[in-house]
Structure 1
Amino acid sequence: MTTAGETTREATAAHPSPTTDGPPAQSPSTWYGLLEHNARTAPHDSALIDGERTLTHAELLARVRRLIGGFADLGVEPGQIVAVWLPNCLEWVETAAALAALGATALGINTKLRSHDVSGLLARADCDLVITDPGFRGIGFRDMLREIHADDPEAIRLVVEVALPSDEATAPEAPSPAAPAASSGAAAPATAAETTAADTGTTAEPTPFATIDYARLLEAAPREPSTHDANTHASAFTSSGSTGVPKIIMHTQAGLIGHSTAVARTFGYMDASTVVLATLPLCGVFGLNTLMAALCAGRPAVLQAAFNPRQTIDLIERHRITHTNMADAMLAMMLDAVEDPTRISTLCEVGFGNFTATDVRGIIRRGGELGKRFFQTYGSSEVQALMCYPPADADMERLSQGGGVPVAPLIEVRVAADTPDSPDTTDAPAAPDTTSDEPPTGEIEIRGPFVSPGRITEHGYEDTPVDEDGWFGTGDLGYMRTADDVVYLNRMGDVLRLGGFLVAPREVEDLLITLPGIGEAQFVAAPGPRGLVPVAFVVLDPAAETTFDEDAVLADCSAVLATFKVPKRVIPLDEFPTVRGANGDKIQRNRLREMAEDVLPTR
Structure 2
Amino acid sequence: MTSVPSYVSGTSDQPLLDDTIGANLDRTVAAHGERDALVDRASGRRWTYRQFADEVNAVAFGLVDLGVEKGDRVGIWAPNCAEWTFTQYATAKIGAILVNINPAYRTHELKYVLNQAGIRTLVAAPSFRTSDYAAMIDQVRPDCPALTDVLLIGREEWNDLVAIGRGGSVAQLEEIQDGLSADEPINIQYTSGTTGFPKGATLSHRNILNNGYFVGELCSYTAEDVICLPVPFYHCFGMVMGNLAATSHGACMVIPAPAFDPALTLEAVATERCTSLYGVPTMFIAELADPSFDSHDLSSLRTGIMAGSPCPVEVMKQVIDRMGMAEVTICYGMTETSPVSTQTRADDTLQRRVSTVGRVHPHLEVKVVDPETGETVPRGEPGEFCTRGYSVMLGYWEEPAKTAEAIDADRWMHTGDLAVMDDAGYLNITGRIKDMVIRGGENVYPREIEEFLYTHPDVVDAQVVGVPDARYGEELIAWVRLRDGAPELTAEKLREYCEGKLARYKIPRYVHVVDEFPMTITGKIRKVEMRERSVELLGLQEVAATRHA
Normalised to the residue count of structure 1, the TM-score between the two structures is: 0.66
Alpha-carbon offset, residue 419 of structure 1: 1.9
Alpha-carbon offset, residue 145 of structure 1: 0.5
Q: Which residue of 2 aligns with 1:479?
A: 420
Which structure features the higher share of helix residues? Answer: 2
Q: Distance in 2 between matches of 1:366 and 1:381?
A: 28
The residue correspondences of 1:72-151 to structure 2 (distance < 5 A) are: 72-137=64-129, 139-150=131-142
The answer on whether the counterparts of 2:218 and 2:346 sit within 8 Å (CA) in structure 1 is: no
Are residue 246 (structure 1) and residue 236 (structure 2) matched? no
Change in CA separation of 1:365 and 1:456 when aligned onto 2, cut-off 3 Å: same
Q: Distance in 2 between matches of 1:332 and 1:106?
A: 32
The answer on whether the counterparts of 1:71 and 1:217 sit within 8 Å (CA) in structure 2 is: no
Q: Which residue of 2 aligns with 1:160?
A: 151
Q: Distance in 1 between matches of 2:302 and 2:351?
A: 19
The answer on whether the counterparts of 1:455 and 1:464 sit within 8 Å (CA) in structure 2 is: no
Q: Distance in 1 between matches of 2:282 and 2:84?
A: 25
Are residue 390 (structure 1) and residue 382 (structure 2) matched? no
The answer on whether the counterparts of 1:364 and 1:400 sit within 8 Å (CA) in structure 2 is: yes
Note the alpha carbon deviations across 1:30-89, whole angstroms, 9 max, x for none: 121112111111111111111221111111222222322211111112211110112222
Q: Distance in 1 between matches of 2:350 and 2:267?
A: 28
Are residue 361 (structure 1) and residue 320 (structure 2) matched? no
Are residue 56 (structure 1) and residue 42 (structure 2) matched? no
Q: Distance in 1 between matches of 2:387 and 2:284?
A: 28
Change in CA separation of 1:145 and 1:49 when aligned onto 2, cut-off 3 Å: same
Q: Distance in 2 between matches of 1:474 and 1:321?
A: 34
Q: Which residue of 2 aligns with 1:237?
A: 189
Q: Which residue of 1 aligns with 2:330?
A: 376
Q: Distance in 2 between matches of 1:344 and 1:599?
A: 38
The answer on whether the counterparts of 2:121 and 2:149 sit within 8 Å (CA) in structure 1 is: yes
Change in CA separation of 1:71 and 1:342 when aligned onto 2, cut-off 3 Å: closer
Q: Distance in 2 between matches of 1:256 and 1:89?
A: 20
Q: Which residue of 2 aligns with 1:439?
A: 380
Alpha-carbon offset, residue 398 of structure 1: 2.8
Q: Distance in 2 between matches of 1:229 and 1:74?
A: 23
Change in CA separation of 1:23 and 1:49 when aligned onto 2, cut-off 3 Å: farther
Change in CA separation of 1:536 and 1:57 when aligned onto 2, cut-off 3 Å: closer
Are residue 282 (structure 1) and residue 229 (structure 2) matched? no
Note the alpha carbon deviations across 1:296-341, whole angstroms, 9 max, x for none: 1111111242110000001000111111221111111011115316
Q: Which residue of 2 aligns with 1:429?
A: none
Are residue 37 (structure 1) and residue 27 (structure 2) matched? yes
Q: Distance in 2 between matches of 1:421 and 1:538?
A: 31
Q: Which residue of 2 aligns with 1:11?
A: none
Q: Distance in 1 between matches of 2:72 and 2:466?
A: 46
Q: Distance in 2 between matches of 1:23 and 1:76?
A: 39
Alpha-carbon offset, residue 598 of structure 1: 7.9
State the SS of the aligned residue for 1:343.
Answer: coil
Note the alpha carbon deviations across 1:99-129, whole angstroms, 9 max, x for none: 1222211011121111111110011101131
Change in CA separation of 1:537 and 1:67 when aligned onto 2, cut-off 3 Å: closer
Unaligned runs of 5+ in 2: 1-10, 439-464, 472-490, 513-526, 538-549
The answer on whether the counterparts of 2:189 and 2:201 sit within 8 Å (CA) in structure 1 is: yes
Q: Which residue of 2 aligns with 1:451?
A: 392
Residue 350 of structure 1 is aligned with which of 304, 316, 323? 304
Are residue 215 (structure 1) and residue 168 (structure 2) matched? no
Note the alpha carbon deviations across 1:377-420, whole angstroms, 9 max, x for none: 20100112343221567444432345211231x1111111x222
Q: Distance in 1 between matches of 2:386 and 2:121?
A: 36
Are residue 70 (structure 1) and residue 72 (structure 2) matched? no
Change in CA separation of 1:27 and 1:377 when aligned onto 2, cut-off 3 Å: closer
Note the alpha carbon deviations across 1:531-575, whole angstroms, 9 max, x for none: xxxx9956579xxxxxxxxxxxxxxxxxxxxxxxxxxxxxxx99x
State the SS of the aligned residue for 1:264.
Answer: helix
Note the alpha carbon deviations across 1:506-529, whole angstroms, 9 max, x for none: 9xxxxxxxxxxxxxxxxxxxxxxx
Q: Distance in 2 between matches of 1:360 and 1:598?
A: 22
Change in CA separation of 1:155 and 1:450 when aligned onto 2, cut-off 3 Å: same
Alpha-carbon offset, residue 457 of structure 1: 5.8
Note the alpha carbon deviations across 1:131-150, whole angstroms, 9 max, x for none: 01214446211100111024
Identity of aligned residues (%): 24
Amino acid at match of 1:478: A
- Aligned alpha-carbon RMSD (Å): 3.9
The residue correspondences of 1:487-502 to structure 2 (distance < 5 A) are: 487-493=428-434
Change in CA separation of 1:29 and 1:248 when aligned onto 2, cut-off 3 Å: same
Change in CA separation of 1:262 and 1:596 when aligned onto 2, cut-off 3 Å: closer
Amino acid at match of 1:332: I
The answer on whether the counterparts of 2:185 and 2:202 sit within 8 Å (CA) in structure 1 is: yes
Change in CA separation of 1:463 and 1:47 when aligned onto 2, cut-off 3 Å: farther
Normalised to the residue count of structure 2, the TM-score between the two structures is: 0.72
Q: How many residues align?
A: 447
Are residue 420 (structure 1) and residue 352 (structure 2) matched? no
